[in-house]
Amino acid sequence: MLRMSPIPATVFAPSHETVPHGLLLGSEALDLLPTAAYICNADGQIIGYNERAAELWGERPVPGASQPLYCGSYRLHWPDGSALPHEHCPMATAVCTGIAIRNAEVVIERRDGSRRIGLVNIQPIRDAEGRVTGAINSIVDITERKMLAARVDQQRRDLEDFFENGAVALHWVDGNGVIIRANQTELDMMGYARDEYVGRPIAEFHVDRTAICDILDRLARGERIEKYHARIRTKDGSIRHVQISSTGRFADGKLLHTRCFTIDVTEQHRTTKVLRARERWFRDLLEALPTAVYTTDPSGRITFFNRAAVDLAGRTPEVGKDTWCVSWKLYTPNGEFLPHSECPMAVALRERRPVRGAEAVVERPNGTRVPFLPYPTPLHDDDGNMIGAVNVLVDIGERKESETRISLLLNELNHRVKNTLATVQALAMQSLRRVPSGAMDDFVGRLLALSRVHDLLADDRQGARSISALMRAVLSPYGDQAMRLSGDPVRVPADALMPLAMLVHELATNAAKYGSLSAAAGQVAITWVRKSDHSIHLVWQESGGPAADEPSRDGFGLRLIKAIAKQQLGGSATIDFSPTGLIASFELPLRESGDDGVRS
């Protein structure tokens, strides 16, 4: 609904064009306009406005009233938020100067505090003599457009910030292979200033030209590059190993530029190379062991075996196919057939427990039989789920034969020695009959002691090994300078040699990958103390390397260390992720001891 006070028709006529009187004086003229519109006279009084203007202002001023002047809004502001008095607004400028205002922006504040942004276009109205008699203002509400433009601008700035300040190296290469843009992370990685890097062919920085040519060719064909391994040369001449992931942007089938993400994997590559070498060394060590070793998954399928296992079984097992045991046939010590599903390894997996003290006989395809002692032990993860098992098969064939021969020899020797001692005793009693009884008792006692020592010769104690020799053998790849060994005299029983070697190897591997052995100045101190119950307290302490950050969950190596300590050695493990380096403490019931002290 139009609100208008009477005004002479001549005031609506501009000096350079004639406006039809009917359009200006009609009661619905302003309401026909698609924008908010209002008219002021030469004194700034609002003499007419349409419904859209009232909605935009949130006000309905009385036409012709002395207030408000120049604009019907509650308040006005400039786009920067500063106050804009009504007497200084664009309408006041147009009325006072007679100058048309085009595309000026103002902020309209309503009484409820809400604000709208208006784009104003004002045309002064002149009479026939050219005098300004008022002005008409058309206001387009551009609030949503400005908000959208602000969001778009913020998104643009966010994208710019993401590109320039992202943690991953980014660059664009045009269709000719020339770098057209690079972020700061890439420049830092390469060691170049922006003007030294951008604008040069990307191939200049690649060590392997064939690799970058392959990347660019595949991108030009529209392929996606995922973690492509490449080598780049930095400003100081050093070579970095990187993984490149990239896609191309095309227009009309032509490559405009690539979008490349480059991740520096130099340290990972170096660590992986070292670990692979050490893993090969340890696998070679397992292969060189004279003891048969094999592993299975939870269902009993063979997953690994060494050469000694092949020699013992007289056949080569099929990984992933053979189950429970590497052997062809099995028998009990008394000669009864033993199905593979009932062998010690099957029992250990089925009952989820280590099996000790069992003895079995393997029959080879050529018909020969070999007795052995199995040591199957299930392995579990942190949640207690069984992840497989390891079995060590100790060939006791030669031992059995030796025991038989030794038994015969000892029986004969004992018979002869005892006869000799009996003869000596009889002669002594006859010859020393007149000697005081105390001297006689002493002499006879010495003879009996000789007899007891002779009986002890049949007790074989050669299965044990020194703990220091074990440590030196396992840690030899890491050099003497990085290791310090110190401990009481301790000998390790034969059945604990392999588990303890595996435990120390896992600690060394962890130190090489994450701990002190990954740093040039890093060291590891290994100490052990024999306790009163003949168990040992073993400590692995790292220093000189990175801080040992506690992981959110144990990895496979840590799980294996704990499993070996608890399940195979019957002890316990405590892992301390100290800022100065990893500290691992073990309580191990290694009950056989001897002269093996080490101080280094």
Strand partners, 564: none
**Among candidate residues 36, 41, 16, the one with its CA nearest the CA of residue 94:** 41
Q: What is the pTM of this model?
A: 0.45
pLDDT in tens, 19-62: 333 334 434 678 889 999 999 999 999 999 999 999 999 999 99
Question: Of 24-33, 504-513, 533-542, 578-587, where does mean pLDDT reach its minimum?
Answer: 24-33
- How far apart are alpha carbons 71 and 505 in whole angstroms? 85
Asked whether residue 404 carries a pLDDT value surpassing 90, the answer given is no
Q: pLDDT at position 593, please?
A: 46
**Amino acid letter for position 339:** P
**Binning pLDDT at 50, 70 and 90, where does residue 398 land?**
confident
Q: Alpha carbon of 598 to those of 468, 490, 492, 522, 541: distances in Å?
A: 7, 9, 14, 21, 17
- pLDDT recorded at residue 234: 96
Q: Most confidently modeled of 371-385, 435-449, 557-571?
A: 371-385
Sheet containing 101-109: order of strands:
3-4, 46-49, 36-41, 132-141, 115-126, 101-109, 75-77
The C-alpha atoms of residue 536 and residue 590 are separated, in whole angstroms, by 6
* Separation between Cα atoms, residue 47 and residue 4, nearest integer Å: 5
| pLDDT tens digits for range 360-372 | 999 999 999 999 9
Which helix or strand (DSSP H or E) is residue 91 part of? helix 90-97
Beta bridge partners of 228: 244
User: At 16, which amino acid appears?
Assistant: H
Rounded to 10 deg, the angle between the 494-513 and 266-288 helix axes is 170
The Cα–Cα gap between 295 and 243 comes to 35
Question: Is 523 in contact with 482 (CB distance < 8 Å)?
Answer: yes
Residues 521-544 have a mean pLDDT of 89
Q: What is the four-CA torsion angle of 316, 322, 325, 329, rounded to 10 degrees?
A: -80
Looking at residues 583-592, what average pLDDT do you find?
Answer: 84
pLDDT of residue 596: 52
Cβ-based neighbour number of residue 182 at 10 Å: 24
- Amino acid (one-letter) located at 572: S
Residue 70 near residue 137 (C-beta atoms within 8 A): no
Tokens of 373: 């002692």
Contacts of 570-574 with CB under 8 Å at 24 or more apart are 571/535
The secondary element (H helix, E strand) that includes residue 413 is helix 397-431
Contact between 117 and 79 (Cβ < 8 Å): yes
CA distance 430 to 189: 99
Q: What whole-number distance in Å separates Cα of residue 180 and Cα of residue 173?
A: 6
Contact 202, 185 (CB under 8 A): no
What is the average per-residue pLDDT within 336-361?
Answer: 94
| pLDDT at 191 (0 to 100) | 95
Q: What is the pLDDT of residues 230-272, one digit of tens each?
A: 999 999 999 999 999 999 999 998 999 999 999 999 999 999 8
CA atoms within 13 A on the CB side of 273: 7
Q: Is the pLDDT of residue 564 over 70?
A: yes
At 552, the pLDDT band (50, 70, 90 cuts) reads confident
pLDDT, tens digit, 9 for 90 and up, residues 83-109: 999 999 999 999 999 999 999 999 999
Q: Where are the alpha helices (DSSP H) in 182-338?
A: 184-190, 194-197, 209-220, 266-288, 307-313
pLDDT recorded at residue 426:
64
Residue-averaged pLDDT of the chain: 84
Confidence band, pLDDT 50/70/90 cuts, at residue 165 = confident
Buried b (16+ CB within 10 A) or exposed e, 353-365: ebbeebebbbbbe
* Token pair for 390: 């390891």
From 51-60, 286-295, 416-425, 551-560, the region with the lowest mean pLDDT: 416-425
The CA distance from 162 to 184, in Å, is 11
> Which stretch of 64-68, 107-111, 442-446, 461-465 has the lowest confidence by average pLDDT?
442-446
Sequence-ordered alpha helix ranges (H) in 476-586: 494-513, 556-563
Phi-psi region of 168 (alpha: psi -120 to 50; beta: other; left: phi over 0): beta
